[in-house]
Amino acid sequence: MKNPYDVLGVQKGAPAKEIKAAYRRLAKKYHPDQRPDDPQAKERFAEIGQAYEILGNEKTRQAFDNGEIDASGKPRFHGFEGGAHGDPFAGFRRAGGGPGRTHFEFRTSGMDSEPFSGADIFSEIFGQAFSQGGSQGARRATRPEGLGDLNVTLSVSVEEVATAAKVMAVFPDDRRIAVKLPRYVEDGQTIRLKGQGAETPFGERGDALVKLKLRPHKRYRVEGRDLHADLPVSLRDAVLGAKVAVETPTGKVAVTVPAWSSSDRTLRLKGRGLPLKSGGNGDLYTHVRIMLPEGGDAALEKLFKKNVESE
């Protein structure tokens, strides 16, 4: 596993802002979707994500800098340097316990020292990262905050946000997880999926932090929780008035275009926008756009010529 500082191309003392910027730049550059013909992109993308897992969190970065964890986030074991009597294996010994019950003991100095269990070793390294638990007082490892967390960006459409749809998030390890959007979400909002991140040495996965990005839409313009859209109307319907079908994020609805509606007339469809935090929905504003028939209209042209001649 490469040094995370080398992977992200930053110095050891780099500020968090610089590390975050380097991660975003490299993740965008090497995302498999951006480099479909590069067989190494997926591996490089995963490597970048692993490096940011270490350096993007203050606690895990400090643990790495102090030599407490390696580049993959696994604890480094200390105490193999030798015992008081020159025994290079005095710090780590095999203790018998019958078939299938062999375990290891960790000794800090000579043979008279009290043995430590594996959990004690981690306690010495991580301190409060381990807490008492279990019916017999066994020590239970607790994942340090941020370790194993994955950050992914999920692009969502206006329709998906408006209907609180179930969308699919794709992770660097090719896992695909269905995410049910809350009724109210905002562009840039992050959803935490507990236990859906990367594996850690502590027996539990980290979390997945899914950042939602609202995609630009070919029909709707988003302003707050309201939507704006153009409404093509024929000259005949603009003059005489008509009922026309309008697409909304939740389906088509019929809208009455009043007679003598000029271009840029705005028709409000109440409650057809994006969900509001307080309940209900924003509005959809349709802007009339008068469209002349393609290829011309002989009867319409004749009418206007007649009017010109009579003037």
Q: Give the helix/strand (H/E) hosting 159.
A: helix 158-162
Please give the pLDDT value at position 266: 96
What pLDDT sits at residue 150? 87
Sign of CA dihedral 217, 223, 225, 231: negative
CB 92 within 8 A of CB 106: yes
Mean pLDDT rounded to a whole number for the chain: 80
Alpha carbon 238 to its chain centroid, in Å, reads 46
Q: Is residue 256 part of a domain?
A: yes
Tokens 């007339």, residue located: 265
Three-state SS at 133: coil
In a domain, 57, yes or no: no
User: For residue 181, which phi and psi values (nearest 5 degrees)?
Assistant: -70, 140
The highest-confidence range among 84-93, 171-180, 248-257, 301-310, by mean pLDDT, is 248-257
Domain of residue 276: give its range: 221-298
Question: Using CA atoms, how far apart are residues 161 and 182, in angstroms rounded to an integer?
Answer: 8
Q: Which DSSP state fits 127?
A: G
Among 200, 215, 230, residue at a domain's last position: 215
**CA–CA distance, 279 with 114 (Å, rounded to integer):** 62
pLDDT of residue 77: 61
**Do residues 288 and 225 share a domain?**
yes
Which of 159, 192, 215 represents a domain boundary (last residue)? 215
pTM above 0.75, yes or no: no
Q: What percent of the chain shows pLDDT beyond 90?
A: 43
Residue 66 has pLDDT above 60, yes or no: yes
Q: Verify that 226 and 292 share a domain, yes or no.
A: yes
Identify the CATH number of the domain in which residue 281 sits.
Answer: 2.60.260.20
Q: How far apart are CA 138 and CA 18, in angstroms?
A: 41
- Specify the number of domains making up the chain: 2
207 and 255 part of one domain:
no
What backbone phi and psi angles, to 5 degrees, belong to 7?
A: -60, -45
Position 288 scores a pLDDT of 96
**Where among 162, 184, 215 does a domain terminate?**
215
Query: Would you say residue 185 lies in a domain?
Result: yes
DSSP state of 158: H
Same domain, 283 and 225: yes
The model's pLDDT over 144-186, given as tens digits with 9 standing for 90+, comes to 778 888 888 999 999 999 999 999 988 887 888 889 999 999 9
